[in-house]
Amino acid sequence: MKEDKVSSTALTVLQGIIYTAKKEEFSHLVSDEMIDSCKKILNSTKEGQKRLKQLDSKIFNLSVPIIEKLMLPGITLHYVLRKRYIEDFVREAIGRGFEQIINLGAGFDTLAYRLSQEFGGVEFIEIDHPATQVHKKEALLESSIDNLHLLSVDFSKQNLENELSKFEKFDRDKKTIFISEGVLMYLSEEHVRDLFASLKNLTKSDMEFIFTFIEPMHENRDSYGVLLSLYLKIKNEHLFWDIKKSEVAPFLKSLDYQQQSLIDADSFKEMYLPDISVTLHRGEAIVVAK
């Protein structure tokens, strides 16, 4: 992302959440608070305002399934399911006594903003690029929230472990949940390994890490359309790290982590859409590790 430019992909995700929530069969997956937060962020930029207007266009709504089929079949619903599971997990973790939630590369995700107002005794920290956080502050934080803290880190120039360890709002003695959603695929394997090591070094109490990963494309060919490669080239987005589901547990073990659960498309279907026939994206899954 350019220093002063909002991520087009981040806006697409917000637009997709609202698009999906308007469908009766999926509306139960998205709360009114989440929709409201997404709209506030979209309204904060000209490009976002354009995305909101598109949602009222019949042509746009008819074109979404076609575009998805050509690029990433089922991806819009996948974004919603991914966020729903992460939120359910974080809520359950808070119920188990976790006191600190840290979102790495939070982008325009609204989870910490919403839950910080609901759980006053839990500290929430979002870490992201300064340019992204400027837009997020303008859109959502009209006034400060005592337990929501934004830490600006340019990962290309600064070290996460160094920056977070000296951040006054971070407490290494608190039970902590780290979140990395839609981020690791943009890192090299070396940087992924460094990230896992950093999180272990940063915490002294119980720690769990919930993250998403992508499998190699050839593992799920039906989840990738013919235009995806062209789109990534135009957007100058490069995917560096992928891993087979069967290799995740050994990978984590090599880093002194233990896989607690792995949530894929079949899991989403069973948990959230048991009676609905739908195309689900199978290229990305969620793992909880400790």
Task: Return the SS3 of 281.
Answer: coil
Query: What's the distance, CA 6 to chain centroid?
Result: 16
pLDDT tens per residue across span 150-183: 999 887 778 889 999 999 999 999 999 999 999 9
Question: pLDDT below 50 — which residues of the chain?
Answer: 1-4
Q: Which domains does the chain have, with CATH numbers?
A: 8-289 (3.40.50.150)
Q: Work out the burial of residue 103: count CB atoms within 10 Å of its CB; fewer than 13 is exposed, 13-18 middle, 19 or more buried.
A: buried
Of 136, 123, 192, residue with least CA distance to 164:
123
pLDDT tens per residue across span 219-249: 998 888 877 777 777 767 778 999 999 999 9
